[in-house]
Structure 1
């Protein structure tokens, strides 16, 4: 284990045990270095890693605001890390399709269930983002690449409606992989204009089911939507 990893392990253990909490500061460089038997540059390296991960926020100086403070900003650092990991690995088509169905059917179901417990304004705020993307997909003259970029954003926006930060981060991380595979499938489609029209109608039906608070219908529609495209594009998912 590298020296800076000793600091990461220590911070993880302290957070898990409740010895460190949101808003509290990490012990100073000298203290951590002495406690762990490592150099202060190794502590500084660990703090930079923790900051990049969104675990701490640092301020320089010697006043009350100085040092590394525990913060809670999980989504964007996690998304960045997952995207980097996924970019270095070729993902089998079947794995992507199965993961999308697993995540998106659950998020559609949960979003529809959440609809019943939300105020109209709260529900409409979330759905408005998805519907604005649908309106942009209706613009004439969109290239397949432009359409599928909006399509990927639409599916990420739907996942956010479920209210699960981790699943939303995973879906956001998968965006590039989904877009690249979907765009590569376009030449296999017999009639792109007809396919795009069908995808628009399916998108609207999914949103309508969520808006109406129909969990089972929303989950089935999005499953059929994902599977249907890959079948139409004659892509193997095995």
Structure 2
């Protein structure tokens, strides 16, 4: 184990045990170095890693505001890590689609029972109705719609995973456009399916919402003849 990893494990253990909380401050660089038997440059390296992950925020100088403070950003660090993983690995299309079906159908079913605030989602659909929209812009909004849809379930981890999948969703969907026999007809169908999903959510019909989401994702996958 590298020396800086000792600091990461120490912070993780302190957070899990409640010894560190949001808004709390890490021990000073010298103190951590002495407690863990490592050099101060190793401590500084660990703090830089924690800051890049979004776990801490640092302030230079001296006094009560200096040092590294634990910050409350539960989604963005995980999202960044997952997006980097997706960017550096060629994931099979079938795996991405299957993951979407699992996450989004569950999220739709869960959201339908929560009387979700649908105005932001409907606003996205209204923007997708704009005439003359390019496939690229349409699918950018489409990916945003699906991420927002998953977020309605209120599960922070599901929202983080879907946010990290946004680029993969946009990429494979856009790449599939040339395989479609009639893009304009497909866009009309996608708009209709989106509206039906939102209608089921508004009605609190969990089973219908989940089924519509599943059918929507799988139908596009099949129509575009994406390789598994």
With the length of structure 2 as denominator, give the TM-score of the two structures: 0.97
Distance in 1, matches of 2:20 and 2:138, equals 46
Shift of 1:146: 1.1
Distance in 2, matches of 1:105 and 1:32, equals 46
Report how many residues are paired.
228
For 1:40, the equivalent position in structure 2 comes to: 40
Shift of 1:235: 2.0
- Superposed, 1:214-229 pairs within 5 Å as 214-229=205-220
- Superposed, 1:3-14 pairs within 5 Å as 3-14=3-14
Shift of 1:187: 1.0
For 1:113, the equivalent position in structure 2 comes to: 113
With the length of structure 1 as denominator, give the TM-score of the two structures: 0.93
Match of 1:213 among 177, 189, 204: 204
After superposition, give the CA deviation of every residue in 1:151-192 in whole Å (9 maximum; x if it has no partner).
Answer: 001001111111111111110110111111111111111111
Deviant stretches of 4+, over 2 Å: none
Distance in 2, matches of 1:183 and 1:148, equals 7
Paired residue secondary structure (2:68): strand
Structure 1 alignment gaps of length 5 or more: 116-122
Shift of 1:74: 1.5
Shift of 1:60: 2.0
Match of 2:194 among 198, 203, 211: 203
Shift of 1:236: 3.1
Distance in 2, matches of 1:145 and 1:54, equals 31
2:181 matched to 1:175? no
Paired residue secondary structure (2:130): coil
For 1:69, the equivalent position in structure 2 comes to: 69
- Give me the CA root mean square deviation: 1.1
Structure 2 alignment gaps of length 5 or more: none
Match of 1:148 among 139, 146, 149: 139
After superposition, give the CA deviation of every residue in 1:45-81 in whole Å (9 maximum; x if it has no partner).
Answer: 1111111111112222222222111122021222111
Shift of 1:18: 1.9
Match of 2:128 among 137, 140, 145: 137
After superposition, give the CA deviation of every residue in 1:6-47 in whole Å (9 maximum; x if it has no partner).
Answer: 100111111112222222211110010011111111111111
Paired residue secondary structure (2:5): helix
Shift of 1:89: 0.2
